[in-house]
Amino acid sequence: MPYEVVDSPRARLGECPIWCEHTERLWWVDVLAPKLWSYDPAAKVCKDHPVTARRIGSVALRSRGGLVLACDDGLYSYDPETGDQQFLMDPEPDAIGHRKNDGRVDWAGNFWIGTLREADYAPVGAIYRVDPELGVERIRGDLAIPNGLAFDEILGRAYYADTRAYAIWVRDYDAANSTLGDERLFARTQAPARPDGSCLDSEGHIWNAEYAGGRLVRFAPDGQISQEINLPFTYPTCCCFGGKDFDKLFVTSASEPLSAEECSHQPLAGHTLVLDVGVRGRPEWRTSI
Instruction: Specify the 3-state DSSP secondary structure of 164.
Output: helix
pLDDT by residue (tens digit) across 232-278? 999 999 999 999 999 999 999 999 999 999 999 999 999 999 999 99
Q: Is the whole-model pTM more than 0.85? A: yes
Q: Smallest Cα–Cα separation from 111: which of 157, 49, 67?
A: 67
Helix, strand, coil % in the chain, rounded to nearest 5: 5, 50, 45
Arithmetic mean of pLDDT, 148-167: 98
Angle value at C-alpha 31, between 26 and 35, nearest 5 degrees: 60
Query: Which domains occur in the chain, in start order?
Result: 3-275 (2.120.10.30)
- The predicted-structure confidence for 27-73, as pLDDT tens digits, reads as follows 999 999 999 999 999 999 999 999 999 999 999 999 999 999 999 99
Active site residues: 196
Confidence of residue 1 (pLDDT cuts 50, 70, 90): confident
Mean pLDDT of 144-164: 98
Per residue in 186-243, pLDDT (tens digit) is: 999 999 999 999 999 999 999 999 999 999 999 999 999 999 999 999 999 999 999 9
Stretch 96-117: mean pLDDT: 97
Q: Mean per-residue pLDDT for 141-149?
A: 98
Q: Which of 240, 242, 241, 250 is nearest to 4 (CA)?
A: 250
- Averaged confidence pLDDT in the chain: 97
